[in-house]
Chain A
Amino acid sequence: MYVATKGGERAIGAAHAWLAEERRGDPATPALTVAQIREQMTLAVARVMAEGALYDPDLAALALKQARGDAVEAAFLIRAYRTTLPRLGASLALDTAAMACDRRISAIFKDLPGGQTLGPTFDYTHRLLDFALAAEDAPPPPAAPEAPPASSPAPRAAAILDREGVLQPEPEGADTPPDLTRAPLELPADRALRLQALARGDEGFLLALAYSSQRGYGRNHPFVGELRVGAAAVEVEIPELGFAVAIGEVALTECETINQFAGSTTEPAQFTRGYGLVLGCNERKAISMALVDRALRARELGEADADAPAQDEEFVLSHCDNVQASGFLEHIKLPHHVDFQAELELVRRLRAEATAAQAAASSEAAG
């Protein structure tokens, strides 16, 4: 059977025109500018950059405006845009130890060398709505206090444990890491591929998995060794010149967890590590990523019964991408008339057969 597949153009045109109107909202309210979104919705912009896997605050702000604030739809727009860009190269590995930190805390050392720096955090706020912000034309807030900065970057908290030998060293990997944007996901994945997938993975999904691991589904006892929010230089080797130039800076959130130890009769006990690194300021995601990274190392670290969802590489990596997931999820709302007609025919036939069989049975019983 054939069904009409044309004829929706007029309706689609009208739907898109209305979408544009709804996106704009009441025209009596001033329109948002991209700069306003970039400057005042910074954490939404950060999420779109991380999950869109492309660092460009202006584009992420534009995507949010176009997507009516829907972060996942905005990430989809960014992913689609990035496919139009030629790949010019790859950076040297970021030196996050040299990051200019707005915030840098450790939950394992009170007297952390370099100090605990809180930065512009929501922590310690009371989570009470601030109705003063509802006032329009409020004057900008008073300037934040200043103090003389340290002269050198703060050392890594992990480096302190490293020196004592109580922390597992990070193994070297391949010079050219696998790239999800170039080759489809293949399992088993190495740690580099897992970290790429998690860095662009859905924040909510990673949060839930990380939380599940804390609640006992693949428990691994994490401590936040260090959490850093700041900016790091991106150095790229210029092919024409043969040396590297710091061509820009990206805002980053980095989380390093220190987890329960591994050891055996032949090897002394050592703490293990989980790692989270996310484009933009997003510590919920960075901490979640570190917990899930560590959970996914269960097998490599020889942990028994590594069968919790957060420890299942195929489960986590196949489902953490929200662009892929929403694409597959939402396609079922598109026309499936033919499939459904076939199913409907089948149900009708089964019912007719059952009714006929029943009628035959009762006439036999009566006869």
Chain B
Amino acid sequence: MDRPTEDDAARRDWMGLLARAPAEALQKLWGDAGATPRFSWLRPPETGAVMVRGRAGGVGAVFNLGEMTVTRASLALDCGAVGHAWVQGRDRRKAEIAALVDALMQTAAAPRLRAQVLAPLAEAERARRDARARKAAATQVAFFTMARGDA
């Protein structure tokens, strides 16, 4: 695989963000954005399994840990832009919206979708992770070392 270009990196980020977003949040933001582009399916939403792999010791030989459910979809807007979605879980509507946003991000509508859909999703994800990390940090042990005998 070639080194991803800057465009690839940006696309990878938004595709991941759309994939990981809670379905209800994505549907609401998409509805509020009010985009209703005409499109045709290249691959209608299909649910399947992806084998999740780990490594022995976290660093060694790769092994198959277990599968997870994934839904994928591909579509083409009437303007020609192609959108793909691979999202965790079995929500076909979520895969459809994710593919639509992916396609629109390659058109002139990109700045609007970035502001109305991607930015709020990124902020919500950051807040969700931060809340867990902050609770975990509060359970960090601080050991006290007692000096014994003469120093």
Contact = CB atoms under 8 A, between A and B. Distances in A.
B141 A116 contact: yes
Given A55-B67, A192-B62, A245 B53 contact: no
Interface in A31-84: 49-50, 53-56, 58-59, 82
Given A170-B61, A275-B58, 20 more contacts: A49-B66, A54-B69, A56-B89, A59-B90, A85-B47, A86-B46, A88-B48, A90-B51, A94-B65, A100-B133, A101-B136, A102-B135, A147-B140, A170-B57, A177-B62, A195-B65, A241-B84, A245-B86, A247-B50, A275-B56
A89 B50 CA distance: 5
B46 to A, nearest CB: 7
Contacts of B46: 86, 88
Interface string B31-48: 000000000000000111
DSSP class of B's interface residues: helix, strand, loop or mixed?
mixed
Interface in A229-286: 233-234, 236-238, 240-250, 254, 256, 273, 275, 277, 279
A92 interface: yes
12 contacts: A90-B50, A103-B139, A146-B131, A146-B134, A177-B63, A190-B61, A191-B63, A199-B63, A234-B88, A244-B12, A248-B87, A275-B57
A146 B139 CA distance: 8
A192 B130 CA distance: 34
B129 interface: yes
B123 interface: no
Interface stretch (A148-156, A203-211, A316-324, A356-364): A148-156
A16 interface: no
A28 interface: no
A219 interface: no
Given A56-B90, A248-B19, A94 B140 contact: no
Nearest to A144: B135
Given A147-B140, A149-B136, A247-B20, A88 B55 contact: no
B143 to A, nearest CB: 6
Given A59-B69, A175-B62, A196-B63, A117 B53 contact: no
A240 to B, nearest CB: 5
Contacts of A117: 136-137, 139-141
B135 to A, nearest CB: 5
Interface in A148-205: 148-150, 156, 158, 169-175, 177-181, 190-193, 195-196, 199-200
A248 B58 contact: no
Question: Which of the four size classes fits the interface of chain B?
Answer: 35 or more
Interface string B61-93: 111111111101010000000001011111000
Contact of B56 (A87, A100, A173): A173
Contacts of A156: 58-59
DSSP class of A's interface residues: helix, strand, loop or mixed?
mixed
A85 B63 contact: no
B15 interface: yes
B50 A234 contact: yes
A88 B129 CA distance: 28
A191 B64 CA distance: 11
Nearest to A94: B54
A297 to B, nearest CB: 10
Interface of A: 49-50, 53-56, 58-59, 82, 85-94, 96-97, 100-103, 110-111, 115-120, 144-150, 156, 158, 169-175, 177-181, 190-193, 195-196, 199-200, 233-234, 236-238, 240-250, 254, 256, 273, 275, 277, 279
Q: Which of A86, A115, A244, A245 has most chain B Cβ within 10 Å? A: A245
Contact of B136 (A89, A102, A181, A244): A102
Contact of A171 (B61, B68, B89): B61
Contacts of B65: 94, 195-196, 199, 277, 279
B138 A147 contact: yes
Interface of B: 1-2, 4, 8, 11-12, 15-16, 19-20, 46-70, 72, 74, 84, 86-90, 129-141, 143
Contacts of A85: 47-49, 67, 69
A153 to B, nearest CB: 10
A91 B20 CA distance: 15
Nearest to B4: A243
Nearest to A244: B12
Contacts of A236: 50, 70, 86
Contacts of B89: 56, 58, 248
